[in-house]
Structure 1
Amino acid sequence: MSPYHEQQGVIAPERILVVEDDKGIRALVTATLESRGMAYLAAATGREAIAEASRAGPDVILLDPGLPDMDGTDIIRTVRQWSMVPIIVLSARSEDDDKVAALDAGADDYLTKPFSVDELLARLRAALRRGRYERGNLGRDIDFFENGPLRIDFSAGSARVNGQEIHLAPTEYRLLCLLARNAGKVLTHTTILQAVWGSSLPQNLPSLRVFMATLRKKLEAAAPQCNCIHTHVGVGYRMTRLGEPES
């Protein structure tokens, strides 16, 4: 078991577990992390990944699901038995079914190869912010959520944009709260339907699309810059932090 690699002279408070069996891609990713002063640990198999995730407690896992010994969804489900560490899947599989399977298993994000270094870093920063937010609020009830001009008062059941309350249907408000509590994370259609409708039956999908469209219109009507809900076609939706580039 090797220690995390750190840039010389830099103390990196957050650590990344890179799970990738392709030596070239693993070298590219780890070099990118090192150049940003991030500590990292690398694993080439699923068994190594699970062992290191358990032993080292990384802040984010970058996971290639096509490993020689285990399928990525099995790794994700195993890690999720004890940890909610953000998991970003880095995969050559571009089919929607593969993305949905990984996200439904518990992954937070999905990046298709080949990807740019800038896109990888943007996704990584979002995952680290989400992890910091969750650790900072562990064990506490969160009353408010703020994202640019948007402010949600969970205890009062209200949402405001630039201080003005926006009137939402109950389903629109539940969707908004679900996305806000998972800001930065891609939520699949199945996850959203189960959380809001209590059932993932496919016949509810048209209703989800309609309510999501009206929710967006109300937010953007209140403030054009309040365009924080993004569609992942064939997969689901994500709320991004305003002021960040969409990835």
Structure 2
Amino acid sequence: MIKRFWGKQRREDVPSADSLTLQHVPEHVAIIMDGNGRWAKGRGLPRVAGHHSGMKAVKRVTIAANDLGVKYLTLYAFSTENWKRPKAEVDFLMKLPQQFLEIELEELIENNVQVRMMGYRSELPPHTIAAMEEAVVKTANNTGLVLNFALNYGSRAEMVDAVRAIAADVRDGKLKPEDIDDAEMERHLLSTTLPDPDLLIRTSGELRLSNFMLWQLAYSELWFTDVYWPEFTEKHFYEAIAEYGRRARRYGGL
């Protein structure tokens, strides 16, 4: 298989799930699910067909992550910038959580998966919020994989809001400026209950973060593939996990 890492071509065998050991498995995997529209265009289909097919990839990867023992899986489902897309496409995207959960929620419950949502709810339509809240409530006591949907999420807005909240605490005398540290910042982020991602995967060949978890990804390993999200399979996921296991994470040390 030809694989691109930061613009370079690399050939390697695709691992299987059985070839991976616990030392390979990151605690938290985050994925920028990209390429739905281009996948559809290449097949002469409307963009929404790509988004619909992307739901199948969500299920595949969730099952694979759960089977491997990944504890947290964060999926970038809709960004604060995605509102700029045509209204018909946005309306379709807002229906996807409801469609996905109507089909898959019972199986998620059976597999002990806990659903969470990270993002700004104020702009989301009621049916989207209702579907997410139902899934969150029904899976709240599950103790397996945490499936975290980043929905109407933007990292810059998240950090600005965190700074505003910290500034308000300083103004009100609840916090001293000298006590502001990384931990204080993280307490005000939307991801406050999650560990930072160990591994970021982005599909479709794009090599950027697109305003996704900019604070949290400071020391994450990054893995990019040319594969469009609807084509992303368990094998691709295992390949990313195997590559993660070969890397040395030094966090600035030796």
Q: Same fold (TM over 0.5)?
A: no
TM-score in terms of structure 1 length:
0.32
Say which structure, 1 or 2, has more relative contact order (CA 8 Å, 6+ apart).
2
